[in-house]
Amino acid sequence: MGFTKNKNILKEIERQNLPKITKSQLTNTKAYWKRKLFGPAQADLKELVNWCNERKEIPEDMDQVFVGADAAKQITIGFELHFNYKPMRIICWAHAYRKFKNKYSKIIKDLKTRQVVQNALKKLQLAHSLDNFIVAKDLLIKQSCGESKTAIKEFFKFWLDEHNLGWFEGFAPGFPSTNNALESTNRYIKDDGTLRIRLAIRQFVSLMENGFIRDWSRERNPIDNVNTIDTAECLYKQPGEQISDSSDEDTYEDYFDIPVNQ
């Protein structure tokens, strides 16, 4: 019938002239089938750990669910070892930018200087090739001074690591702008997967494993030419502004509004 709330189910039973049942009978029936299909409503930590351990190996079935640590470098390393190629680790610019704001707010005391550095980082993020990015990044460090230089260098210590470099526009051309692979589809996920009801943990993981994730995987199966959604092509947007395509430092001399370090 497509209903989950008792009130709506009872109305639909009456509308279809089915044998009437009481609200208590309906509640007990639903509870019985939930226990039968998903087990007890509550799950302890040991059960969740076992569930994850049973799914930590990469399966042969491309649509079967397996578990990985969120944002861990081991994910990239694991893909590289298993699939024998070096994947591109795209980083959400919003995440990197928030981390930077937290960092420079503790280092740079002057509000106006913070704004200048903030705008400079936003401009750097618009670089559309690695060479382009490196030149602009080097010049930004060269032009900055005092607290600005300290904040920028602290930011770059982590966010220029080979696993965390992919936050500028030109890192992976054709992929969603300034977003990571999962978040680029979050509107689709919300439209398709918002349940509007609370589920017990057992029921939730079962639904995610055998429903949403498997369906999303099938829709994006590169082997299936009929049902595949080209996520990158569908969601990619050309940024409205970009740094000039040049490897010449002179091109960027007046690009960043940071006082030149004397």
Encode 6-23 in three state secondary structure: HHHHHHHHHHCCCCCCCH
Q: Is the pLDDT of residue 240 over 70?
A: no
Determine the average pLDDT of the residues in 97-118.
82
Confidence of residue 130 (pLDDT cuts 50, 70, 90): confident
Q: Is the pLDDT of residue 100 over 70?
A: yes
Phi-psi region of 259 (alpha: psi -120 to 50; beta: other; left: phi over 0): beta
Determine the average pLDDT of the residues in 134-160.
81
Q: What is the CA radius of gyration of the chain?
A: 25
Question: Residue 242: what pLDDT?
Answer: 53
Question: Residue 261: what pLDDT?
Answer: 43
Question: Residue 192: what pLDDT?
Answer: 66
* 129 vs 163: CA distance, rounded Å: 17
Strand partners, 166: 90
Mean pLDDT of the residues in the chain: 74
Question: Residue 236: what pLDDT?
Answer: 46
Instruction: Return the higher-pLDDT residue of 243 and 154.
Output: 154
Phi-psi region of 71 (alpha: psi -120 to 50; beta: other; left: phi over 0): left
Confidence of residue 15 (pLDDT cuts 50, 70, 90): confident
Work out the number of other CB atoms within 10 angstroms of the CB of residue 178.
20
Strand partners, 90: 166
Question: Residue 262: what pLDDT?
Answer: 38
Could you write out the DSSP letters of every residue in the chain?
----SHHHHHHHHHHTTPPP--HHHHHHHHHHHHHHHH--S---HHHHHHHHHTT-SPPSSTTS-----TT-HHHHHHHHHHHSS----B--HHHHHHHHHHHHHHH---HHHHHHHHHHHHHHTT--SHHHHHHHHHHHHHH--HHHHHHHHHHHHHHTSTTS-BTSGGGSTTSPTT--TTGGGHHHHHHHH--SS---HHHHHHHIIIIIHHHHHHHT-TT-TTT---HHHHH----S----S---GGGGTTTS-SPPP-
Question: Residue 235: what pLDDT?
Answer: 46
pLDDT tens per residue across span 156-214 = 887 887 778 888 888 877 666 555 555 555 666 666 666 667 777 777 888 778 777 77
Per cent of the chain over pLDDT 90 is 0
Is the whole-model pTM more than 0.85? Answer: no
Determine the average pLDDT of the residues in 37-64.
80
